[in-house]
Structure 1
Amino acid sequence: MGGDQHESGTRPSLRERKKLLTRQALIDTAEGMFAERGFDNVTVAEIADAVNVAAKTVFVYFPTKEDLVFHGEDEVLRTLVEHIRNRPAGHTPLDAVVEMLGQTMTASPLGAVTELERLHRTVGESAGLQARMRLMWERFELAVTAELAEDTGVPRYAPRPRIAAAQLVMIYRTMASPEAMTYIRTHPENRRNQAFDDWLAVARDMTGEGIADYARRER
């Protein structure tokens, strides 16, 4: 969770390090409990007790119980928007998103798959977490819409930024889907990077070329 250095290069204080350790302990403990018993069968009080903190302390770090599952959401969104914003000359937002996803898998192929599978197992049939995940994707779309609108000099309510954002986030969303994870897992470990790239290539091609003629029924 950020290591021992701030972005400025200065070492965090002892208090800050303790806060980081407590936050990570809450995440690790919650994930273990959720995996064993299911999200809806675990209380915040039980998580707090296992980490030896007060229940109210949990809410200092995580405003809602659901935030213990989606604890990395802000960082993922920041990375997504920054990749689009900082793309080099000649690159499209589509290029930026595909590059970011490729880098994620290349950095830790097994870790990325394992983390996504953990998330899907935790969400499971929980209506609350399913709703929270839909809100996450909506939040991503709105943030990308705002970035594209500013980048192209049009209002946020203009159609192109919103539609483009929905398609860009759709690529991210499908790459994190259970179907994509199953597809990757069906390949030997030494072929999983390639399986990920294959799925991503299809997503890029179908988005880049448009889907106007996809699955058109014959007369």
Structure 2
Amino acid sequence: MTIDAASPAPPPGLRESKKQETRQLISDVATGLFLAQGFERTTIAEIAAAARVAKKTVTNYFPHKEDLALDHQDAFTASLAATVTGRQAGEPALAALRRAFADAAASADPVAGFSGPGFARMVADSPTLSARLRDLHDLREAALADALADATGTPRDDITPRTAAALLGAVHRTLFQRIQELTLAGQDTARISATVTTEADSAFGLLEPSLAAYAAG
């Protein structure tokens, strides 16, 4: 009888846990390097060396360099659509999104733009990241348009949900930029949260005449 001396394969749960640990390690190392020397000046090879993994391992987990910096991008692009899909019974989309933003501002949610001064400066100084962030805002708006179409039983290519999403997305884009602006101006999180909460009431209020009852759940 022969004995297989090879180590048994780890259970699926352990394998997934190790993958998540490796991914988080790479992300943390990359963020540290980006903050220290700038996004544009940091290479994938440097990140791999600092994380003690192969360069291919980095690109397997993060196909694009921007993915290493904007690691909340999936949550970001899905956030507005998820709010509409999960809104309360009878709650219009505007009310749901307004409430969700107030909650995000109160908790200083990074997805809403509360990234801290170092990260905000890194993005502002990087043409690549600034361009990618604009793309993410566009993707978030497109996902919101689909969610509004589904919520109202309207074809996804109909102009009404797309227009509503453009208006709602513009408010969120403006508030995100406002948070970044105040962060770069040196204001602390509590003051920023208070400021944008008040400004959000005014911004969302501008949409009430046209969208107050739209897409009521």
TM-score (norm 1): 0.79
Contact 2:75/2:111 (<8 A) preserved:
no
- 1:213 is aligned to none
- 1:68 is aligned to 68
**CA distance, structure 1, for counterparts of residue 202 and residue 135 of structure 2:** 26
TM-aligned CA deviation for residue 34 of structure 1: 1.1
**Any residues of structure 2 matched to 1:40-51 within 5 Å, and which?**
40-51=40-51
3-state SS in 2 of match to 1:176: helix
Q: Are the structure 2 counterparts of residues 78 and 180 from structure 1 closer, same or farther at C-alpha, using a change threshold of 3 Å?
A: closer
Write the deviation string for residues 180-216 of structure 1: whole angstroms up to 9, x where unpaired: 3444777676554322310211211123246xxxxxx
| Aligned AA (1:14) | L
* Range that drifts further, 133-142 or 190-199: 190-199
- 1:215 is aligned to none
3-state SS in 2 of match to 1:71: coil
Larger radius of gyration: 2
**Any residues of structure 2 matched to 1:177-216 within 5 Å, and which?**
177=177, 179-183=178-182, 191-209=191-209
TM-aligned CA deviation for residue 57 of structure 1: 0.4
3-state SS in 1 of match to 2:40: helix
3-state SS in 1 of match to 2:169: helix
**CA distance, structure 1, for counterparts of residue 136 and residue 89 of structure 2:** 29
- Residue 92 in structure 1 maps to residue 96 in structure 2: no
- 1:83 is aligned to 83
- Residue 124 in structure 1 maps to residue 124 in structure 2: yes
| Aligned AA (2:36) | E
- 1:174 is aligned to 174
Q: Are the structure 2 counterparts of residues 154 and 118 from structure 1 closer, same or farther at C-alpha, using a change threshold of 3 Å?
A: farther
- 2:14 is aligned to 14
Q: Highest relative contact order (Cα 8 Å, sep 6+), 1 or 2?
A: 2
* Range that drifts further, 105-114 or 54-63: 105-114
TM-aligned CA deviation for residue 78 of structure 1: 3.0
Contact 1:180/1:199 (<8 A) preserved:
no
Identity %: 33
TM-score (norm 2): 0.80
Write the deviation string for residues 118-142 of structure 1: whole angstroms up to 9, x where unpaired: 4432222433222211211111111
TM-aligned CA deviation for residue 42 of structure 1: 0.4
